[in-house]
Each structure stands twice: as structure tokens, then as C-alpha cells.
A and B are shown apart, each in its own frame.
Chain A
């Protein structure tokens, strides 16, 4: 089950510069485990204390995963996942 994951500029050091990679998983949590297996270090940039980092946004097919189950959000073949760091500050 292949899902395309779009990687933001700041995290492309983990993907050898690739803008998009493929990964597998029945839900977002599984997908991130699979990403970590192929791109070590990536998980820590997405997850902190077992939850998505506050200032990282992940979207499945245009929907912010925070509204569709967070790490438990289900994935299907052909879905597109986009990771975008929050644009925020003080």
C-alpha cells in the first residue's frame, strides 16, 4: 500500500534532497514508522512524547490530520500525505 509523502525543504536532509518519498502504513502512525525505517531521524522531527509535534502540520488528502484522528488517521492506497512546518512565531 503506497502513499506519497511530500517533504518540506527543512526536512529534505533526511530524504537525500527528495521532495516526495513513498511509504506504507495503515494509519499515520504506521506510515511514520515506515518513513523512519528508510529515513532515520525523521520520526523525531514529527513526533514528540508520542504525539504530533505542536508546530508540525500533517495533511492527508488536503485535511489536517488533527481533525481526522491524528496519528490514528487511516490511510488508503494512493493517498497523499503532506508535511508542512507551521509558520509561526512570537
Chain B
């Protein structure tokens, strides 16, 4: 399951809408081993294409250097599909190289750059096997109170 806070979710959707009809891409970094997507990093789609995305190689290097220095890892790797459903393409599956990451797909095919709902789905992709997972968007106001026992 992917748990993601509302602001990050909205940020990914806004990025996808803004870049439509080209594919948008980026990561959400989080502390290593935490499975918490905390720091949204929008990346430039070096392919600048409606059917392909690729992080620029220099940007990619800087991103991994920065995450390494922060003890972070890419918890979410996201990109948009602008004319098809939010499901990994054969290319997505073939190139997926972070077995621990949540691969998020957003489809902007319905409303493009305009307001309106998008498909937002998440998958694990390991050794060519795609498994869809539930997405839970957490609103800060609705976070459960901390367990009082943990205070002591």
C-alpha cells in the first residue's frame, strides 16, 4: 500500500496537469527504509515527449547524490500518461529498476491541463511483474492522534 500525504499527492497531480500533453516525471524521496514519501522532487522530462519520459542524466546524478547525502531513497517514482490509462506500459516495466519503489502513474487523458479528476494509481514493479497497490491519501487534519501509550 502507498500512503501519501495530501500536499504531495496534489503536487504530483498539478505537475502532471501542467506538463500535459507531455509526460511529467519525478520522485518523492523519503528516509531510507521508512517507506514514507516526504520530499517531492519534480524532474525535467529530458525526452519532452507525450509518449516517453527520461530523467536528464546529469539531473539524475545530482538527485541520487542528494538523496545519498540525506540518507534518503526514492520512495515514489512517478510519471504521467497523457493519452492512455494510468497503467505501466511495456517500456515502463522493462526499464523499472527500483524494486523497492512505488511506481505511481497519473493519467491526464480526461481533462488535460484543466481542473478535474485524474487517475492516480500505484504499482510495484519487480523483475517484470506488476502488482497494483492501494493508495491512501492522508489528510493532516485527519491523522489519528498519537497512541498515548507511546508518550511514556
Contact = CB atoms under 8 A, between A and B. Distances in A.
Interface of A: 8-10, 55, 57, 59, 62, 64, 66, 82, 84-90
B25 A87 contact: yes
Interface string B45-87: 0010001111101101100110000000000010100000000
B118 interface: no
B89 A90 contact: yes
Given A9-B99, A10-B97, A10-B99, A86 B61 contact: no
A9 B57 contact: no
Nearest to B97: A85
- Interface of B, secondary structure class, is mixed
Contacts of A55: 95
Contact of A86 (B27, B51, B54, B92): B54
A59 B43 CA distance: 19
B88 A89 contact: yes
Given A9-B100, A89-B52, A84 B60 contact: yes
